[in-house]
Structure 1
Amino acid sequence: MPAVAVTRGRLTGLHEIVDVGRDRARGGYSRHVWQPAEIELRAWFVERAERLGLGVEHDRNGNIWAWWGAPGDDAVVVGSHLDSVPGGGEYDGPLGVVSALDAIALLQSTGFTPGRPCAVVVFAEEEGSRFGVACLGSRLMTGAIDPERAGALADADADGVRFAEAAEANGIAARHLGRDDAALGRIGLFLELHVEQGRGLIGLDSPVAVASSILAHGRWRIDIAGEANHAGATRMGDRRDPMVAAARGIVAVRDAAAARGDDRATVGRIHALPGGTNVIPSAVTTWLDARSARDDDTRDLVAEITARVGAAAAAEGCSVTVVEESWSGAVHFDPVLRDGLAARLGGIPALPTGAGHDAGILAAHVPTAMLFVRNPSGVSHSPEEHATLDDAVAGVVALEHVLRGLL
């Protein structure tokens, strides 16, 4: 087995960034696009790529490309992202970036010369934690989101910063955001390695799997309007309290998904106005994440949730507006590429995933595949997310073996 650089129980690349973006309040990491921690990670990626002799480019949508040799068409592109959810884990995103660079380093150490163009890419705003739309860098590149809509997206911290403003502040011309046929046209195939974000590999005799599919999923903003009033002076029967409606609606979200088998629905964020402890809110906004194996099933689930939340709001004398903020249909990865990778790696298992990825966006445009590295905790988007050193190294070796065959 080729040697892989490790430091203190981690891949060396992960160890180099282990302290970047630590969130002392939430635990884990908070690394949001074009904020200090993520900017530091971008600089680290450029420096690490240049150490390997790769040529670095920044595209019109904030994605970073590191080319092994001259850029060109029909390229094998491998990569992931560096941003995180609030209080996220160490491996979600960075493991794929570090592993891609390490796989190239392994190939270089054996004197291997690629026979076709190859690049490592870091996509911007994969998690959507700052501006609300996941996989924003890959959506913009492929034309999956209107650039004017993307530019107008507001920072989740409600500080007034728009995506276009943040882009300009970081050297990206907002007027050039949008579909990038030049970048997209160079990709012959795309491969993303990622820590598994579930329990599929636990109990299987393999540290690595290929992805078969991604659940259909989206995000919806649910605005519930009521009447602000004094918490002490307003009798319970005289209230139009959107917080009560939201609470009942959140329970309805759980119940609607649980009744439909393996569907998933989550409210992970809530915001109340005006936000005073002794004030009945005037409005409450929650954000719904809903997922199912089929597009129609996900739409049906959201329709059922909308009806249940509407009934809860009506019972409190409140009104409801539901706005779709993002949508990704079910993805089935390229079967020829998927099966070829599985065979080359000794018949490793194929697993579906409920997590969205840039690979899922690109799958509609180019042959695309994913490799998963076993997560012994089965937990992700949390500080408990994990991969053992042996399994992480196995992922690098698998990626190196795959790239050797593709290049």
Structure 2
Amino acid sequence: MHTPYASDPAKARPRLHAEEESAFRSCYQRDRDRIIHSSAFRRLKHKTQVFVEHEGDYFRTRLTHSIEVAQVARTIARALGLNVELTEAVALAHDLGHTPFGHTGEDALDALMAQYGGFDHNAQATRIVTSLERHYAEFDGLNLTWDTLEGIAKHNGPVTGDLPYALADYNARHDLELGTFASAEAQVAALADDVAYNNHDLHDGLRARLFTEDDIAELPVVGDCYREVDAKYPGLDPYRRRHEALRRVFGVMVTDVIETSHRLLQNAAPADSQAVRDLGRPVIRFSDAMWSDLQQIRSFLFRRMYRAPKVVEMRRRVTNVVEDLFPFYMSRPDFLPRRWRQDVADAPDGTALARLVADYIAGMTDRFALEAHARLLGGDAELSHGKGI
């Protein structure tokens, strides 16, 4: 049962290019399906979160992360009476703009693009779904509804100040009202992202032996969940114990978001989805207590996982890959694939060329970037063949 403030597909703002809508799917369902069938979504299979793609079959990739985020987001949206299809579309698309090698690749590409307008993965996701996906006869991109595009662009909140070029370029043609908060559905996708990555980074860090269960036993929420499992299932197999505890962590966080957001929505009583945007503050949130607990968990993960010596060393090596590929393609754009060369020929200046090169590198998977580096620049063969960490 949808609430008055849920986004209504019958009232969705139009697509940039007018289309006849489906007789069987809502416009938000159609957006979700186009995202799932996009090339960029498939490439997420070989883009990683913290580790490099070849390090192990069980570590999360951007694809598995996006699926997990969508599952959490569906649960929260349904519990709050929001539109599940729009929530799912934004959740599935939120990481489309990520480079190879996670945030390490993004940081490297942003530094290389500093004189050309910078690089931001959220803005790049908008660029992908509005321009770089080129499969349809009548338009570039996926021609998503305004509501979905808004959610992709600003699910983390208003976008103000100097806009990343990828976002500014599209916004000039199709105003996404970047200075306001997005729909409640998009806000749900953002909080679901927080829930998912905090939980799976704990799981991946344990699997990588960067820390142990004893190390996280005193963390808020996490320690309580382990103690609950130990009390209920004494002597449980270690792998089942880990799963039982971490799934409870998931549940505690999701419940907190639902209960806190329900109170906020009830108190604000927005008349419709536009009223949510006009509130000037988020309505989907963790409680203050949970937010404080999350900061402690994140601080632990930063110290013990993201800054672990072997992760830092891998970050250094893959940063070099991006730093080598960018100037190579800038000086030798003839090495870009054939379908990119017409865009290169049409590029009016060095800035336009740099943006094309950034688009191409950002679209690479971990494996493809390593192989291209080894092939074109005699890169680290050991890293390229899965003998890294």
* TM-score, length basis structure 2: 0.25
- Structure with greater strand share of residues: 1
- Structure with greater helix share of residues: 2
* TM-score, length basis structure 1: 0.24
